[in-house]
Structure 1
Amino acid sequence: MAGRAEGGEPMNEQAVANMYGAMRAEMNQIYSKITELEMEVSEHSLVINAIQPLDPSRRCYRMIGGVLVERTIKEVLPAVQRNKEGLEEVIARLNEALEKKKKEIADFEAKYKIRIRKGDNEVKDESGRKEGSAQGVLVGPAGSHE
C-alpha cells in the first residue's frame, strides 16, 4: 500500500519524476512536430504564390516520392493546395493534442504537487560565470602586444 496510490499509480518520487519527464518529453515532441509542419505549410504557400500567377499550361516539376516529374501548373497547383490544407488540418489536430497534454500535465502537477524550480541561484551563477568568462576573453586581446 505504501508504494502505490489510488488507481495503481506509483507513489515514490522517482517514479513520479519519470512519468512527469515522459509527459514533458511527449509534449516537446508535439511542439517540434507542429513547428516542422508549420514550416512545410510556409513552403507550400511560397510555391503556391510563385506559380499561381503563371500560365496554367506552363511546364513545372514536382518531387513525388523522391522522383522529379514533369507536369503543368494547372495539374500541380490544386495538388499543392490540397497538401497545404491537409497539413493545416494535421496542425490543428496536433494543437488539440497539445492542449490535452498540457491539461494532463497540469493535472499531474496538481495531483503530485509538482513545482518547477527555475533556479534563481543557478541563473545568477551562470550569468556571473558567463560575465566573468566574457571579461576574460575581452581582457586577453586588449592586453596583447602587437
Structure 2
Amino acid sequence: MAGKSEAEPVNEQAVANVYGSMRAEINQIYSKITELEMEVSEHSLVINAIQPLDPSRRCYRLIGGVLVERTVKEVLPAVQRNKEGLQEVIARLNEALEKKKKEISDFEAKYKIRIRKADEMKDEGGKKEGTAQGVLVGPAGADE
C-alpha cells in the first residue's frame, strides 16, 4: 500500500505535466494562426494596392531578404498564390486545433481536471486573508 501512495503524487505530477504541455501546444497553434492571418491581411492589402495598376508598371518585391524589381503582371499572381497557400495552412492549423481541443477535453474528462476561474481564486484568497487579520504589534519597548 505504501508504494502505491508514493506513486500517486508522481502520477498526478505527470498528468499535470502532460496537461500543461497540451495547453502550451494549443497556445502555440493559436499564435501561429494569428500570425498567418496577419500575413494574409497584408497580402490582401498588397493585392488591392497593385491590382488596379498598369500590368507593365515597375514593381518591387522582397524575396528572401532581397529587393527584386519586377512588373505588376509578374508580382500579382505570385502574391495571390502566396495568399492562397497561407489560407490553406490556416485551414489545416484550424483542423489541428479542433483535434487538440477534443483531445484535451477527453484528457480533462478522463483525469477529472477542472480549471479554476479567476473569481474562485480571488474568493479563496479573500478567505485566507480574512483569517489572518486582527493583530497589530508595535515596537518591543513601546509599553515602557
User: TM above 0.5, one fold?
Assistant: yes
- Residue 108 of structure 1 aligns with an amino acid whose one-letter code is F
Alignment of 1:1-146 (within 5 A): 2=4, 3=7, 12-123=11-122
Distance 2:107 2:120 in 1: 26
Using a 3 Å threshold, how does the CA distance of structure 1 residues 61 and 99 change in structure 2: closer, same or farther? same
Distance 2:46 2:59 in 1: 11
Using a 3 Å threshold, how does the CA distance of structure 1 residues 28 and 99 change in structure 2: closer, same or farther? same
SS of 2:59 mapped into structure 1: strand
Pairwise CA RMSD: 2.2
Q: Per-residue displacement from partner, 1:51-104 (whole Å, max 9, x unpaired)?
A: 000000000100000000000000000000000000000000000000000000
SS of 2:44 mapped into structure 1: helix
Q: How many residues align?
A: 121
Q: Percent identity?
A: 84
- Residue 41 of structure 1 aligns with an amino acid whose one-letter code is V
Q: Which runs of 5+ in 1 are unaligned?
A: 5-9, 127-146
Distance 1:107 1:52 in 2: 48
Q: Which runs of 5+ in 2 are unaligned?
A: 127-144
Q: Per-residue displacement from partner, 1:94-121 (whole Å, max 9, x unpaired)?
A: 0000000000000000000000001324
SS of 2:69 mapped into structure 1: strand
Partner of 2:140: none
Deviation (angstroms), 1:11: 7.3
Distance 1:47 1:123 in 2: 48
Using a 3 Å threshold, how does the CA distance of structure 1 residues 123 and 78 change in structure 2: closer, same or farther? farther
TM-score of the two chains, using structure 2 as the length reference: 0.78
Distance 1:60 1:51 in 2: 9
Using a 3 Å threshold, how does the CA distance of structure 1 residues 77 and 123 change in structure 2: closer, same or farther? farther
Distance 2:17 2:120 in 1: 25
Distance 1:65 1:119 in 2: 45
- Residue 67 of structure 1 aligns with an amino acid whose one-letter code is V
- Residue 25 of structure 2 aligns with an amino acid whose one-letter code is E
Deviation (angstroms), 1:13: 1.1
SS of 1:12 mapped into structure 2: helix
